[in-house]
Structure 1
């Protein structure tokens, strides 16, 4: 029964949304909003907006990579043929229609920032995924998260206060670390495809185990820096 339940289209659709990354990102942004002193309803709005946005990116990624995934990751629902591409396109379209009003509910500046973040992530992943500049969209999109939080509010009424430069720089650095960590599990397949992304180039020089340690240490240090900057300079 559990096996049959796991193959239902709804659960397969959830799997195709990269749920762990989506939930982790949404929880991290919601926690950051809470630490910044936002009201509970605003924290919930931030979490919902980011969760829908990340799910959208996950579906777009699986749609774009389904032929590649079929060669190397046939266990993925879309690549393995257990989930219809039309279903994913429908879910993606619904997510686009939902994320726009959710973003606008945070305020106009926050909405513009977050929608630009999504566009950078989606286009950058398509254009630079297998190139040495693969880190650029990750750093650029993460650098916009502090602005999304700083400009955010409730009911479409945001704040005019921009984020502190320290937070923007640290968020961009965090994006670099996350990019490397997320890419590591797929480096073998990326190498077979002839990719030359930044994580691939670094792994060829250092080896994957050492790169994992370096990226983990980098990310941990940046998180500590974010916490320190949050207590001293603040978010905005």
Structure 2
């Protein structure tokens, strides 16, 4: 293999892991751990475990969906476009999953099991649940329980506040809707029938907006004490991003801006979480 071909393969592997959500979730987890005054070693281990889990989920998605992606001509998917083999991403996904198990359990058996449950939920989505009316559930579960896994890894093994977990679940539901809407037609053509496909793009876009705004309202209003001025500004920013994402989604097209805006809303909420007492 030439040097250029080797670099191209590395780039395609990076693209196949779904880099934007993988990086975002990892950064959010590290920020939450650091914001809760976790030791540096614990924060680094949280980041490594979450990254390994996200890599396994992203690669497994492109491995499992390889035939579907090829059938609809997804040139943005390295496996579907034929630039990577199914065997390559399958090996990468399984290797990352093994690393995730080791790194997660290194945090302790309780946070380790919680984190592994969130990753298993995401794998269940890729394997089967994305084609059912319960397609939203793995997103809600994985995002909702991630704060608990991080909290349990902290000294003294505290738990996450209920509102932090509820906000995470709502963010997950919003992320699901924003991620699926651009692919509704391709998914239908290959037999995927998740909840968004059953209720349609308009209802999904509206539900996505309500979930994202609901998550931000929880993070602003649920913590003890009066909301800070910065929280009100963040709420306005999140609402603005959500409106923009909804308008784009309702306008149709294959662009990923609604999903990126959903990640931006999640970033606003994580900043609010870090500045609040989200560990009970």
TM-score (norm 1): 0.84
Paired residue for 1:185?
Answer: 182
Q: Does 1:172 align with 2:169?
A: yes
Paired residue for 1:235?
Answer: 279
Paired residue for 2:197?
Answer: 200
- Give the RMSD, CA atoms, in angstroms: 2.4
Q: Residues 140 and 201 of structure 1: is their aligned pair in 2 closer, same or farther, counting only changes over 3 Å?
A: same
Equivalent-residue separation in structure 2 for 1:23 and 1:232 (angstroms): 23
Equivalent-residue separation in structure 1 for 2:147 and 2:200 (angstroms): 30
Report the number of matched residues. Answer: 225
Q: Residues 124 and 89 of structure 1: is their aligned pair in 2 closer, same or farther, counting only changes over 3 Å?
A: closer
> What's the secondary structure of 1:86's corresponding residue?
helix
Q: Does 1:62 align with 2:62?
A: yes
Maintained 8 Å contact 1:163/1:235: yes
| Deviation (angstroms), 1:122 | 0.5
Q: Which runs of 5+ in 2 are unaligned?
A: 224-272
Q: Residues 23 and 106 of structure 1: is their aligned pair in 2 closer, same or farther, counting only changes over 3 Å?
A: same
Equivalent-residue separation in structure 1 for 2:90 and 2:156 (angstroms): 34
Equivalent-residue separation in structure 2 for 1:104 and 1:179 (angstroms): 27
Q: Residues 232 and 24 of structure 1: is their aligned pair in 2 closer, same or farther, counting only changes over 3 Å?
A: closer
| Deviation (angstroms), 1:6 | 8.9
Equivalent-residue separation in structure 2 for 1:198 and 1:6 (angstroms): 40
Equivalent-residue separation in structure 2 for 1:98 and 1:232 (angstroms): 32
| Deviation (angstroms), 1:33 | 1.6
| Deviation (angstroms), 1:207 | 6.3
Q: Which runs of 5+ in 1 are unaligned?
A: none
Equivalent-residue separation in structure 2 for 1:14 and 1:132 (angstroms): 30
> What's the secondary structure of 1:8's corresponding residue?
helix
Q: Residues 39 and 224 of structure 1: is their aligned pair in 2 closer, same or farther, counting only changes over 3 Å?
A: farther
Paired residue for 2:125?
Answer: 124
Q: Does 1:88 align with 2:132?
A: no
Equivalent-residue separation in structure 1 for 2:220 and 2:33 (angstroms): 13
> What's the secondary structure of 1:76's corresponding residue?
coil
Cα deviation, 1:104-140, whole Å, max 9, x if unaligned, reads 2222111011111111110133222122211111111
Equivalent-residue separation in structure 2 for 1:232 and 1:80 (angstroms): 45
Paired residue for 2:218?
Answer: 225
Equivalent-residue separation in structure 2 for 1:227 and 1:100 (angstroms): 34
| Deviation (angstroms), 1:215 | 2.1
| Deviation (angstroms), 1:194 | 4.3
Paired residue for 2:157?
Answer: 160
Q: Does 1:109 align with 2:102?
A: no
Q: Residues 64 and 105 of structure 1: is their aligned pair in 2 closer, same or farther, counting only changes over 3 Å?
A: same
Maintained 8 Å contact 2:166/2:215: no
Paired residue for 1:147?
Answer: 148
Paired residue for 1:215?
Answer: 208
TM-score (norm 2): 0.72
Q: Residues 120 and 218 of structure 1: is their aligned pair in 2 closer, same or farther, counting only changes over 3 Å?
A: closer
Cα deviation, 1:85-108, whole Å, max 9, x if unaligned, reads 222222223212211221122221
Q: Residues 165 and 132 of structure 1: is their aligned pair in 2 closer, same or farther, counting only changes over 3 Å?
A: same
Q: Residues 194 and 124 of structure 1: is their aligned pair in 2 closer, same or farther, counting only changes over 3 Å?
A: closer
